Amino acid sequence: MNQELQVSHNLQQQSFEVLVDGHRAHLDYKRLPDGRLDYCHTFVPDQLRGRGIAAVLTRAALDYASAEGLEVVPSCSYVEVFIRRQQQGS
């Protein structure tokens, strides 16, 4: 199912988001003065939890930062754990 999710990057809202079954899940960020991206909040509605949606959002957000050559500050605990697990797996 995760392969079917279309993550959109909402530049104005500074978030990566996906709509599933009428519910919006999102990963919010702030662009810091030094150009880094602070990935500060991930939210998945109760109705969508347990489906890997937060991981899909986080992967899309990290791929964006990598493609743009931007450093990420993972102040969201979910993003921090996701990055740590990816580093351990490689």
Q: How does pLDDT run across 56-72, given as a tens digit for each residue?
A: 999 999 999 999 999 99
Q: For residue 47, is pLDDT > 50? A: yes
Q: For residue 1, is pLDDT > 50? A: no
Q: Which CATH superfamily is domain 2-89 in?
A: Gcn5-related N-acetyltransferase (GNAT) (3.40.630.30)
Rounded to two decimals, what is the model's pTM?
0.92
Spatial CB neighbours of 12, under 8 Å, sequence gap ≥ 6: none
The pLDDT > 70 percentage for the chain reads: 96
Q: For residue 79, is pLDDT > 90? A: yes
Mean pLDDT in the chain?
94
Q: Where are the chain's structural domains?
A: 2-89
Compute the average pLDDT of residues 21-34. Answer: 96
Grouping H, G, I as helix, E, B as strand and the rest as coil, residue 89 is helix
